[in-house]
């Protein structure tokens, strides 16, 4: 976990002010961790820069674990962005019932301006669908994992108690 003071004084996070002092943003519990997984994975599919600021805002608004929520948006990084957003684009095309446009990618602002005009609808829809599915999956999976680990601990305690091993 990063140092709280360092995060609170970060130049891009100062805009959140005293809201960063909420202890719920720093606790690791079932609600905060599963919420962070849900929001972080959803926001990882939002095709905008500065997803970390969105994740911070969502964590503050939802009162979930802030560092985990911010860390999860880094699933989208320079290596994973092309396949993730291309998949989201294909999902959007499939949902809209339109064929994907065949274009040659060129890393330039001119290409982005020209090509985004034709792909923004399926890209945004596909990103929303993929983000929702991944966010819900992460949320539910983390809730189930947390429950499984607690039940496992209870069973170990009962087993140890029946063997005469003192509780720790």
User: Is 84 exposed, middle or buried (CB count within 10 Å of its CB: 0-12, 13-18, 19+)?
Assistant: buried
Binned at pLDDT 50, 70 and 90, residue 144 comes out as: very high
Do 161 and 167 touch, CB atoms closer than 8 A?
Answer: yes
- pTM, two decimals, is 0.80
Tokens 């608004």 found at: 61
Binned at pLDDT 50, 70 and 90, residue 104 comes out as: low
Higher pLDDT, 85 or 162: 85
What pLDDT digit, counting tens, does each position of 120-133 carry? Answer: 899 999 999 999 99
Tokens 């709280």 found at: 4
Average pLDDT, the chain: 86
Tell me the mean pLDDT in the region 148-167. Answer: 85
């Amino acid at each position: 976990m990063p140092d709280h003071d360092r995060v609170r004084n970060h130049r891009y996070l100062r805009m959140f002010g005293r809201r960063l002092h909420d202890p719920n943003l720093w606790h690791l519990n079932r609600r905060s961790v599963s919420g962070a997984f849900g929001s972080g994975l959803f926001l990882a599919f939002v095709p905008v820069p500065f997803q970390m600021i969105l994740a911070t805002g969502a964590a503050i608004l939802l009162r979930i674990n802030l560092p985990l929520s911010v860390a999860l948006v880094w699933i989208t990084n320079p290596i994973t962005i092309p396949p993730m957003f291309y998949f989201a684009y294909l999902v959007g095309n499939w949902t809209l019932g339109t064929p994907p446009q065949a274009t040659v990618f060129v890393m330039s602002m001119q290409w982005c301006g020209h090509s985004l005009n034709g792909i923004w609808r399926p890209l945004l829809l596909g990103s929303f669908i993929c983000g929702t599915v991944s966010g819900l999956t992460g949320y539910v999976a983390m809730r189930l994992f947390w429950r499984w680990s607690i039940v496992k601990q209870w069973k170990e305690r009962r087993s140890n108690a029946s063997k005469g091993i003192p509780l720790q």
